[in-house]
Amino acid sequence: MQLGGRALLHWSLDAFAEARCIGAVIVAVPSGAEDRVPEGAVAVPGGASRSESVAAGLERVESELVAVHDAARPLVTPELIDELVTRLLDRPDAAAVIAAAPITDTVKRAGEADEVAETMDRDELWAVQTPQVFRTAALREALDTAPERIAAATDDAMLVEQAGGRVLLHPSSPANLKVTTPLDLGIAELLLSERGT
pLDDT tens profile 11-34: 999 999 999 999 999 999 998 888
105: DSSP letter: S
| Cβ partners under 8 Å of residue 21, min gap 6 | 81, 82, 85, 86
Domain 2-195 has CATH 3.90.550.10: yes
Considering the entire predicted model, what is its pTM?
0.93
The pLDDT value recorded for residue 92 is 97
| pLDDT of 100 over the 80 cut | yes
| pLDDT of 96 over the 90 cut | yes
Q: Could you tell me what percent of the chain has a pLDDT over 70?
A: 98
Q: Is residue 35 a contact partner of residue 45, using CB atoms and an 8 Å limit? A: no
Residue type (1 letter), 88: L
Reduce the DSSP state of residue 64 to 3 states and report it: coil
How far apart are alpha carbons 178 and 11 in whole angstroms?
13
E-state strands within 10-125: 26-29, 42-45, 65-68, 96-102, 108-110, 116-119
Work out the angle at residue 163's Cα, subtended by the Cα atoms of residues 161 and 166, and round it to the nearest 5 degrees: 40
Q: What is the mean pLDDT of residues 184-197?
A: 90
Digit-coded pLDDT (tens) for 114-149: 899 999 999 999 999 999 999 999 999 999 876 677
E-state strands within 4-49: 6-7, 26-29, 42-45
Q: If residue 58 lies in a helix (H) or strand (E), which one and from where to where?
A: helix 50-58
| pLDDT of 197 over the 70 cut | no
Q: Band the pLDDT of 106: cuts 50, 70, 90.
A: very high
Reduce the DSSP state of residue 167 to 3 states and report it: strand
Question: What does residue 29 show for φ and ψ, rounded to 5 degrees?
Answer: -130, 165
Average pLDDT, the chain: 93
The pLDDT value recorded for residue 39 is 87
Q: If residue 79 lies in a helix (H) or strand (E), which one and from where to where?
A: helix 78-90
Beta-strand pair 126-135/116-119: unpaired
User: Around Cβ 187, how many Cβ atoms within 10 Å?
Assistant: 15
Question: What does residue 7 show for φ and ψ, rounded to 5 degrees?
Answer: -65, 145
Residue type (1 letter), 135: R
